[in-house]
Amino acid sequence: MLKFIFGPTLGYAGGFSLLSTILITITGMMSSVLLFTFLGKMLREKVLIKFFRNKKKFTKRNRRFVVIWKKYGLPGVAFLTPLLLTPIGGTILLASFGSSKREIVVSMFLSAVFWSTVFSILIYVLGPEVISVFTN
Write the DSSP string, 17-62.
Answer: -HHHHHHHHHHHHHHHHHHHHHHHHHHIIIIIHHH-TT--SS-HHH
Closest by CA position to 117, among listed 74, 85, 82, 67: 82
Cβ proximity of 123 and 130 under 8 Å: yes
Closest by CA position to 30, among listed 13, 52, 7, 50: 7
| Each residue's pLDDT tens digit, 20-42 | 999 999 998 999 899 888 887 67
pLDDT at residue 34 in the model: 92
pLDDT at residue 107 in the model: 95
Angle formed at CA 52 by CA 48 and CA 57, multiple of 5 degrees: 105
Instruction: Give the span between the Cα atoms of 54 and 25, in whole angstroms.
Output: 36
| Each residue's pLDDT tens digit, 81-108 | 888 878 888 888 888 778 899 999 999 9
pTM of the model: 0.78
| Each residue's pLDDT tens digit, 37-80 | 888 767 666 665 666 566 666 677 677 777 877 888 888 889 98
Cβ proximity of 20 and 122 under 8 Å: no
| Positive/negative CA dihedral, 46, 25, 97, 107 | negative
Give the H/E segment covering residue 117: helix 101-126
pLDDT at residue 38 in the model: 87
Number of domains the chain is built from: 1
Cβ proximity of 78 and 90 under 8 Å: yes
Q: Containing domain of residue 120, as a range?
A: 2-52+59-135
- Output 54 or 17, whichever has higher pLDDT: 17
